[in-house]
Amino acid sequence: MVKIIDLRSDTQTRPTEEMYQAMINAPLGDEQNEEDPTVMELQKMAAEILGKEDALFTASGTMGNLVALMVHTSPGESVLMEEETHIMRCETGGLAVVAGLMLKTVPGELGCPKLDLLEKAIIGEGRLFATSSLICLENTHNAAGGTCISVEQMNAIAEIAKKHNLKIHVDGARIFNAAIALGIEPAHLVQKADSVQFCLSKSLGCPYGSMLVGTKEFIAKARKKRQILGGGMRQGGVMAAAGIIALDKMIDRLSEDHENARILADGLLEVGMQIDMRTIQTNLVFFEVPTHLVEATELVRKMKDKNVLIGKPSGNRIRVVTHKDISRDDVIFTIESLKEILK
């Protein structure tokens, strides 16, 4: 069988053999009644690893984020976030459609909202106002290039939040990539956050699901909001079993993906692509295709002919992502393929 090197996303992984075995053998129950032992074990692990009291298994990152927004806010309030966040760009406006929130975006630097502008954007109390109640951060920040928000930045944002009585939610779809790249414990990184959503189905290699973590009180409320969205499960342990393996076995290996991403970025630079190297921090690599070399869509097509799938261009900008199913040899083959196409 021809190997396809799929660099489009870290959602393109397949479960490990151990995950499949765990899924077959998982003890099961009715998750909506909190009787599924496997889901409960996964939730306990997720809470522990992020240093929070409790956790909830959700169908997706989008659902986890939306549930968090619904718990932290009331309809008619406003939520602040950096202007290129996933919640703003790619979650179908759920915050307005479902949660009834107004969005205020703030320009950022490598994915972190600029602190002075963040504070200025806060809407205070008043009869006429959509008062701000929540700050959302994205760590790592997808559109900025998989960049990390540091503990120091988190602390500075937490100061602002405290001063203005705002909660903080972290869309940590790839929070473990951030923790590994920054060389700190995940719990330390999110200590100042009131809630965190992270994806099992991205760099951790699971077929499904996300976790939402926070206080016991927050998670009790989140469980009801998840039910409103139709997110209560039955024998959810089939899926949760893969998550347990992921939290046990798939976090430490993320540094391999980061190394592969750096090698890939170096190779892309070598063949003439343009990259802001400040953004090469984790497993995402964004590059600009200079039109004098090749059209971006043409490059995607030619790479596909070599069985290498790369992201759909946005203008001339293309994203490639390393993950557990991309080996060092795959990265080298990708660079060689680029060289052949561009020679």
Ligand X SMILES: Cc1ncc(COP(=O)(O)O)c(C=O)c1O
Binding site for ligand X (CB under 6 A): 60-62, 86, 138, 142, 171, 173, 199, 201, 210
**What is the three-state SS of 111-150?**
CEECHHHHHHHCCCCCCCCCCEEEEEEECCECCCCCECCC
Instruction: Kindly report the backbone phi and psi dihedral angles of residue 276, in degrees, each rounded to the nearest multiple of 5, phi listed first.
Output: -85, 100
**Least spacing, CB of residue 34 vs ligand X, in Å:** 23
Min separation Cβ 63 and ligand X, Å: 7
CB nearer to ligand X: pick between 202 and 262: 202
Q: What Å distances lie between residue 325 and 4, 202, 279, CA to CA?
A: 10, 12, 22
Least spacing, CB of residue 296 vs ligand X, in Å: 21
- Using the minimum distance from each CB to ligand X, give the nearer residue, 99 or 122: 99
Q: What are the angstrom distances between the C-alpha of 287 and each of 138, 158, 178, 268, 291?
A: 21, 32, 20, 8, 12
Q: Closest distance between ligand X and the C-beta of residue 31, in Å?
A: 18
Residues near 34 by beta carbon (within 8 Å), at least 6 away in sequence: 40
Cβ proximity to ligand X: between 7 and 122 the closer is 7
Question: In this complex, which beta carbon is closest to ligand X, that of residue 38 or of residue 65?
Answer: 65
Minimum distance, C-beta of residue 249 to ligand X, in the bound complex (Å): 20
Nearer to ligand X, 105 or 332 (CB): 105
Q: Are 95 and 130 in contact (CB under 8 A)?
A: no
User: What are the backbone dihedrals phi and psi of residue 308, each rounded to the nearest 5 degrees, phi first?
Assistant: -115, 120
Smallest separation, CB 15 to ligand X (Å): 16
Six-digit token string for 148: 């990390």
Helices (H) and strands (E) in the chain, counts: 14, 13
* CB-closest chain residue to ligand X: 61
- Cβ nearer to ligand X, comparing 194 with 294: 194
